[in-house]
A and B are shown apart, each in its own frame.
Chain A
Amino acid sequence: DQQVKQNSPSLSVQEGRISILNCDYTNSMFDYFLWYKKYPAEGPTFLISISSIKDKNEDGRFTVFLNKSAKHLSLHIVPSQPGDSAVYFCAASANSGYALNFGKGTSLLVTP
């Protein structure tokens, strides 16, 4: 049972434009949400997170938005750069310090 869903397997964006990656979750107990970035042959690397008490968190070019009523979060990358091309995983957890539930990932391609 997939509790975290990323319904877009892939996304292509031009350099300089905004990339928007979406994620939906079904478990209302989730209270901490994260985005990870993964390059081929490497482990996922942490990108940005948000707690359920917030609806927005920003870190440089990356912003995560959380809509708890819709059980939806999104990652905005502005401006997108070719080096951002990677697979992005959305993850969520309930009860701090417990395991993360991951989506299947969205492959982002940023073209020059």
Chain B
Amino acid sequence: DSGVTQTPKHLITATGQRVTLRCSPRSGDLSVYWYQQSLDQGLQFLIQYYNGEERAKGNILERFSAQQFPDLHSELNLSSLELGDSALYFCASSVPGSDTEAFFGQGTRLTVV
């Protein structure tokens, strides 16, 4: 158990809908990262938050947004869903400081039908 909790584990929804994925980081971790893993792809970095503030953006679509709340949990909002958004979405967290690894949750499998 990495200490990072993601809910829900599975989500099936229709095209055009909106969903919210939730992540609770490890205790004490200030950074939260969101990654997308599509079929046969590596983990694509979407966005990073650090202590409530957006720190870095990767290949995140405009239809997607995220936030980190004062209690440090984070939510990833995906809207106007398309079939191609079907993927595994991982959240990771890390402690502040240099050369630290990120710890990953078990992921949310999103299926858009």
Contact = CB atoms under 8 A, between A and B. Distances in A.
A99 B104 CA distance: 13
B60 to A, nearest CB: 11
Which size bracket describes the interface of B in this complex? 20 to 34
B102 A100 contact: yes
Which size bracket describes the interface of A in this complex? 20 to 34
A43 interface: yes
Contacts of B103: 46
A103 B100 CA distance: 18
A34 B101 contact: yes
A28 B104 CA distance: 26
A39 B96 CA distance: 27
A81 to B, nearest CB: 22
A51 B105 CA distance: 24
Interface in B53-68: 55-56, 58
A99 B56 contact: yes
Nearest to B58: A99
Given A43-B4, A44-B104, A45-B104, A89 B99 contact: no
Given A98-B55, A104-B42, A45 B99 contact: no
Contacts of A34: 101
21 contacts: A4-B42, A6-B42, A41-B106, A42-B106, A43-B4, A43-B6, A43-B105, A44-B43, A46-B101, A49-B101, A91-B43, A96-B99, A97-B94, A98-B55, A99-B45, A100-B45, A100-B102, A101-B45, A102-B35, A103-B42, A104-B41
